[in-house]
Amino acid sequence: MRPIRHLLVILLFPFFLITMACKEKVPKPNPALAFIELQRGELLLCGSGQFGEVDFSLNCDYDVRDAFNLAVSLLHSFEYDEAEKAFVKVIDADPDCAMAYWGVAMSIYHALWSAPESKDLEKGAFVLEMAEPLSKTAKEQDYLNAIGAYYKDWKTIDHKTRAFLMEQKMEEIYQKYPDDTEAAIFYALALKSTADPGDKMHTNERKAGKILEAIFPDKPNHPGIAHYIIHNYDNPELAPMALTTARRYADIAPNSAHAQHMPSHIFTRLGLWEESIQSNIRSASAAQCYAESSGNEGHWTSEIHALDYLLYAYLQQGNTEMAKEQYNYVKGIKKVWGNNATVSYPFAAIPARMALENKDWDMAATLETPITEFDWKKFPWEKSILHFTRALGSANKGDLDTAQNELAILKTLQQELVQLEDEYKAKQVMVQLKASEAWIALAMGNREKARNLMLASAALEDTTEKHPVTPGEVVPANELLGDLLLAIDKPKEALDAYEKSLKRTPNRFNGLYGAANASIQSGDLEKAKVYFEKLLEMTANSNSDRPEVTEAKMFISKSIS
């Protein structure tokens, strides 16, 4: 039985808008549509079909404007398949609506997700070619030129360069049409899509956030504004600025699985575990509703993505029982549909979290690669998580041969990412690699080498930022550094490491416990009390059976008496 109950019903009312609007006119379908595989069919919208308020139809036929705006609303909440279907419906009803072709191309782009595959790029480029001879305003041509900059020469120019070209075009539109709300919103999205993950000043994100915050008061129910504020402020420094918006977005687009999930990015950043849990329960339910109505076999990727965040939050509450329920549920999933790049991460991270968060070294050392229909060879970063977990588990068990074997695989995967010129993921695996070497060195009795390697791992992670696909690293490097420093009797250094980790990832269960333990060993009982009290606050409603909670209660009880 699924751990999240089916909550919503399917209502397919949006096509009533198109059907009624066009009942007295017989459009002439664009014959070129027959040569490409477009998303078609009735929209699958759970609940009442509310996705926020958008007004952006420009020069399209008046009769299809409501349908067009619904399509843009779906696009803004990353409901890409349904957005494409909605834009295609508009094209069928009004083949001369140039912006509907723009909408299809935008639905294929997926600005903040993995780059489209070749077949999708080919489709997007072809759709834009179909729009070229159509009559259009100067502004519509500008919008088509902007997305066209991404698709042009896609066979010879890399994704990153084309994304930058599109951002530049969107900036021109933003400057040229200062009263165009959608120009500002899509420019803010483009800024986020090209932001440097190593930029600790968050230059693009701050610029985008400022643009969005300026227009939000006049458009309080616009899904894109709220959504992109959350994405741009999804980092430790800016997250507090997005809390109010995070609490509003789900109500703006209540029938979007992604809109229900997105607030948990901010809740996770701030350690608000109960709010994250409720957000992802709603998101997974909406995703299940969508999957069941789609006719596709298996589970939709949005559900698995939400469950990774859900399990993570349960683990921070020390709620092993509920975390294990999600873990067992995901373990039983063999078939998924949607974006495999989105689901490959949680398939690797969920079992790794169960082992590492509970310090179950037997489970960690023998972690198996999940059996799914997609090829793990295509996902070296995600695959590295499994080998990293096995390396840590084996090192902590004293099985050095297995640990060394896993380390060798990590090195191979890291080099593979270097060759693929995926700098971000190569760096993430290097963080894991150095941490694995550190714990192997400790198991071999070389304490100083272990300390230096773990310091290097933590320092490298400090220069990076977590990927949006994950609620957090399977174990933060600074937290792991604290664990190692405690193991070599350096409690004051360990406390510094834990506190640094908690600043970046607040209210983590193991971070709070580690900081309390390091405080005791450093002789600072008052600070230990503060951390233990925080740990008990985090776990108060979870009926946690973790021994750390029992230890915290005993310490607080003794300090009171």
State yes or no: pLDDT of 464 exceeds 80: yes
pLDDT winner (highest mean) among 11-15, 18-22, 98-102, 374-378 = 98-102
**187 against 335, higher pLDDT:** 187
Average pLDDT, integer, range 255-279: 95
Is the pLDDT assigned to residue 197 strictly greater than 90? no
Lowest mean pLDDT among 1-10, 35-44, 217-226, 424-433: 1-10
Q: Which whole number is the average pLDDT over 5-30?
A: 43
Which residue reads 């604290």 in tokens? 482
* E strand or H helix at 514: helix 509-522
pLDDT average, residue stretch 279-305? 90
Please tell me which residue, 467 or 392, carries the higher pLDDT value: 392
Residue 1 pLDDT level (bands cut at 50, 70, 90): very low
- Fold classified for 339-475: 1.25.40
Q: What's the confidence (pLDDT) of residue 3? A: 47
Q: Identify whether the C-beta of residue 498 lies closer than 8 Å to the C-beta of residue 511.
A: yes
Task: Judge whether 66 and 17 are in contact, CB under 8 Å.
Answer: yes
pLDDT band at 36 (very low <50, low <70, confident <90, very high): confident
Confidence of residue 58 (pLDDT cuts 50, 70, 90): confident
Q: What is the pLDDT of residues 378-431, one digit of tens each?
A: 999 999 999 999 999 999 999 999 999 999 999 999 999 999 999 999 999 999
Taking 70 as the threshold, does the pLDDT of residue 22 lie above it?
A: no
Q: What is the pLDDT of residues 91-137, one digit of tens each?
A: 999 999 999 999 999 999 999 988 899 999 999 999 999 999 999 99
pLDDT of res. 291: 87
pLDDT band at 297 (very low <50, low <70, confident <90, very high): confident
Average pLDDT over residues 332-347: 86
What is the rounded average pLDDT of the residues 200-209?
96
Cβ distance 424 to 417 under 8 Å? no
Residue ranges of the chain assigned to CATH 1.25.40.10 = 14-302, 479-561
Give the per-residue pLDDT at 488. Answer: 98
What is the structure's pLDDT at 431? Answer: 98
List, in order, residues 6 or more apart from 48 with CB less than 8 Å away. Answer: 11, 254, 255
pLDDT of residue 20 exceeding 80, the answer is no
Note the CATH number of domain 479-561.
1.25.40.10
Using CA atoms, how far residue 249 sits from 243, 270, 291, in Å, is 10, 17, 22
Q: Supply the mean pLDDT for the chain.
A: 91
Mean pLDDT lowest for which of 335-339, 477-481, 537-541? 335-339
- Is residue 336 within a helix (H) or strand (E), and if so which, with residue range? strand 336-337
Q: pTM score > 0.75 for this model?
A: yes
Long-range contacts of 246-251 (CB under 8 A, 24+ apart): 247/275, 248/220, 249/223, 250/279, 250/282
pLDDT in tens, 423-459: 999 999 999 999 999 999 999 999 999 999 999 999 9
pLDDT at 292 over 90: no
Residues 6+ apart with CB under 8 A from 552: 513, 516, 532, 533, 535, 536
Instruction: Average the pLDDT over 277-300 and give the result.
Output: 90
Average pLDDT rounded to a whole number, residues 5-33: 45
pLDDT value, residue 19:
43
| Predicted local confidence at residue 293, as pLDDT | 84
pLDDT at 57: 67
The pLDDT, as a whole number, for residue 4 is 44
Ramachandran assignment for 450, one of left (phi > 0), alpha (psi -120 to 50 degrees), beta (any other): alpha
What is the token pair recorded at 37?
């595989």
- The pLDDT tens digits of the residues spanning 514-533 come to 999 999 999 999 999 999 99
Classify 27 as helix, strand or coil. Answer: coil
Q: Is the dihedral of CA 424, 426, 428, 431 positive or negative?
A: negative
- Indicate the pLDDT class of residue 227, thresholds 50, 70 and 90: very high
- Neighbour count for residue 396 (Cβ, 10 Å): 20
pLDDT at position 374 over 90? no
Once rounded to an integer, what is the mean pLDDT over residues 203-224?
A: 97
Write down the pLDDT at residue 30.
Answer: 66
> What does the alpha-carbon distance between residue 200 and residue 414 come to, in Å, rounded to a whole number?
23
pLDDT computed for residue 40 by the predictor = 84
- Higher pLDDT: 62 or 417? It is 417
Q: What is the pLDDT of residues 532-546, one digit of tens each?
A: 999 999 999 898 999
Under CATH, which architecture does the 14-302 domain have? Alpha Horseshoe (1.25)
Per-residue confidence (pLDDT) for residue 100, from 0 to 100: 95
pLDDT band at 508 (very low <50, low <70, confident <90, very high): very high
pLDDT band at 32 (very low <50, low <70, confident <90, very high): low
User: Could you identify the residue written with the tokens 């078939």?
Assistant: 335
Please say if the pLDDT value at position 273 is more than 50. yes
Q: How sure is the predictor about 14, in pLDDT bands with cuts at 50, 70 and 90?
A: very low
First to last CA, the chain: 47
